[in-house]
Amino acid sequence: MNFKTSVRQVDGVTIVDCSGRITLGEGSVTLRDAVRELLSKGHKKILLNLGDVNYIDSSGIGELVSAFTTVRNQGGELKLLNLTKKVHDLLQITKLYTVFDVKDDEAVAVKAFS
């Protein structure tokens, strides 16, 4: 399944609904381009909804880290929403679960942005 994103706005937060696989190649590039485009338009409160991301490899994990640091370096915030068990487990074993701000409720996640 190809990786796709769609963007919506909720109370000043940009929610990126992601679906498919974030892997080396198309998936990683699509995510990178989506985040860069949002930042270029001044959207700095970004919530990545990964509820429909069923697979992620080490390149995809690296892309999430890159998105996190890129947004942070531009004075923004990036949080993760609705991790699947596979993605959750991968972030746990790579010790990234505590690096990211991970939420499982969209309304709570939106309110958590400063």
Partner 1 sequence: MTEQRVSYTLDSTLETVDSAEQTASRIAAESGFGEDEIMQISMAVREVVVNAVLHGNAYDPGKKVNLDFETTNNDLVITIRDQGNGLDPAKIPDPLSPDNLLKTSGRGIFLIRSFMDEVEIRPSKTGTEIKLVKHVRGPATGGKEASQ
The binding site for partner 1 (CB under 8 A) comprises 23-25, 57-59, 61-63, 65-66, 68-69, 86, 90, 93-96, 99
Q: State which residue, 38 or 56, has the beta carbon closest to partner 1.
A: 56
What would you report as the CA-atom Rg of the chain, rounded to the nearest whole angstrom? 13
Residue 83 Cβ, how far from partner 1 at the closest point, in Å? Answer: 15
Angle at the Cα of 97 from the Cα atoms of 110 and 40, rounded to 5 degrees = 50
Q: State which residue, 11 or 89, has the beta carbon closest to partner 1.
A: 89
Q: State which residue, 58 or 74, has the beta carbon closest to partner 1.
A: 58
Alpha carbons 11 and 43: distance in angstroms, whole number:
12
Residue 93 Cβ, how far from partner 1 at the closest point, in Å? Answer: 6
Chain centroid to Cα 45, Å, comes to 11
**Dihedral (Cα; 29, 14, 54, 31), 10-degree rounding:** 0
Residue 99 Cβ, how far from partner 1 at the closest point, in Å? Answer: 6
Residue 71 Cβ, how far from partner 1 at the closest point, in Å? Answer: 13
**Which strands form 4-10's sheet, in the order they lie side by side?**
4-10, 13-22, 45-56, 77-81, 101-103
Q: State which residue, 19 or 54, has the beta carbon closest to partner 1.
A: 54
